[in-house]
Amino acid sequence: MELICPAGTPAALRSAIEAGADAVYCGFNDETNARNFPGLNFSRDELRKGIALAHGRGKRILVAINTFPRAASVALWRRAVDDAVAAGADALIVADIGLMDYVARQHPDQRLHVSVQAAAANPDAIAFYVETFGARRVVLPRVLRVSEIAEITRETTCETEVFVFGGLCVMAEGRCSLSSYATGKSPNMQGVCSPASHVAYEETAKGTTSRLGGFTINRFAPREAAGYPTLCKGRFSTALGDGYIFEDPVSLDATTLLKGLQAAGVAALKIEGRQRGRAYIESVVRHFRRALDTLEDGSEADIASLKPFTEGQSSTLGAYRKTWR
């Protein structure tokens, strides 16, 4: 299985390759990618150099152009496609159907991956992308069980890729407007979710309150660590009780499922976190490299804990385990 690692900067790209990535995914420093954070991502020149570095080591670069183009500005996204192809990208990760159509027509030889943002959650939807645009791989949404991943992979003529570590969307990706409801900024349109520009913390004697766009997302006791107010990981109140209604503030960690994913026929494993620093990239990539190497040679893994790198210092197998739903 191929190990796909995130990079938000050229330094992170180098770290990921040195730590054992088979491929690195990254995006341009504008709204064409779904991690459009200040100071993050690649200029055209940085991408060209990153690709040269990766190819020199026999590794691949996948370019994420995975937001939905704004009406009347489609040219900006098409230029991103053209520039990534010209720079020698090994694959483009695309979510918008109009942009996939453009890639298929203008760059028919370019390898196309269906982004998780395209929410292709079953073999029929995937077959549509394969037959219509020649998609070579689909990144599966984080809403499926391992048995379902196996079934999809069996029935699908293109490769499948799944997330194994990092931030966990509990809602179907690419189909969530919670962030734009509270802040006006959405993953699909601006490439951001629960943006820092709309976050506020209020400290009182009773503890810390975190808010997003004016809505209270969580409250922490004085000694409790105050986590980032990602909307769907907040504590809320209903007539049936208060608490983490959608999901606890946890990260995905599928280390223990690698064997099952391999048996399911998955082609590639993806680590989330283009917004994360080099320490995260180095540790997490090295961890999964070792886990994959031991899987290949059949030895027992002695794997360091990834706890420091998980949200709220705790992790979950997410929808991959049967009881999640």
Partner 1 sequence: MQLSLGPVLYNWAPERWRDFYFRVADEAPVDVVSVGEIVCSKRSPFFAEHLPEVIERLQRSGKQVLLGSLILVSLRRERRQTEELCAIDGAMVEVNDLTCLKSIEGRPHAIGPFVNIYNEASAAFHVRQGAARICLPPELPVSSAAVIAAALPEAVIEMFAFGRVPLAISARCYHARLHKLSKDNCRFVCEKDPDGLALKTLDRQDFLTINGVQTLSHACTNLIGDIENLREAGIGSLRLSPQDCDMVEVAKAFRDMLDGRRDAEDAGGRLSELYPGVAFANGFLRGQPGFSLARA
Rule CB under 8 A: which residues touch partner 1?
68-74, 95-99, 101-102, 118-125, 127-129, 131, 143-144, 148, 151, 170-172, 174-178, 180-184, 186, 188-189, 209, 213, 215-219, 232, 234-242, 245-247, 319, 323-325
- Cβ proximity to partner 1: between 85 and 172 the closer is 172
Q: 80: helix, coil or strand?
A: helix
- Cβ proximity to partner 1: between 151 and 282 the closer is 151
- Cβ proximity to partner 1: between 223 and 325 the closer is 325
Q: Are 261 and 162 in contact (CB under 8 A)?
A: yes
- Least distance from partner 1 to the Cβ atom of residue 69, Å: 5
Distance of CA 148 to the CA centre of its chain: 20
Whole-number Å distance between alpha carbons of 47 and 67: 18
**Do β-strands 215-220 and 137-139 pair in parallel, antiparallel, or remain unpaired?**
unpaired
- Cβ proximity to partner 1: between 102 and 288 the closer is 102
- Least distance from partner 1 to the Cβ atom of residue 186, Å: 6
- Least distance from partner 1 to the Cβ atom of residue 73, Å: 8
- Least distance from partner 1 to the Cβ atom of residue 180, Å: 5
Give 3-state DSSP helix, strand, coil % of the chain, rounded to 5.
Answer: 40, 20, 40
Contacts of 265 (CB under 8 A, 6+ apart): 150, 153, 154, 160
- Least distance from partner 1 to the Cβ atom of residue 200, Å: 13
Q: Comparing C-alpha atoms, which of 63, 11, 17 is closest to residue 285?
A: 17
- Least distance from partner 1 to the Cβ atom of residue 67, Å: 9
First to last CA, the chain: 27
- Least distance from partner 1 to the Cβ atom of residue 296, Å: 30
- Cβ proximity to partner 1: between 37 and 236 the closer is 236
Q: Are 27 and 63 in contact (CB under 8 A)?
A: yes
Sign of CA dihedral 304, 22, 122, 120: positive
- Cβ proximity to partner 1: between 142 and 274 the closer is 142
Whole-number Å distance between alpha carbons of 321 and 325: 9
Q: Comparing C-alpha atoms, which of 26, 33, 133, 25 is closest to residue 76?
A: 33
- Least distance from partner 1 to the Cβ atom of residue 271, Å: 22
**Do β-strands 23-26 and 2-6 pair in parallel, antiparallel, or remain unpaired?**
parallel
Q: Are 166 and 137 in contact (CB under 8 A)?
A: no
- Cβ proximity to partner 1: between 58 and 239 the closer is 239
- Cβ proximity to partner 1: between 78 and 286 the closer is 78
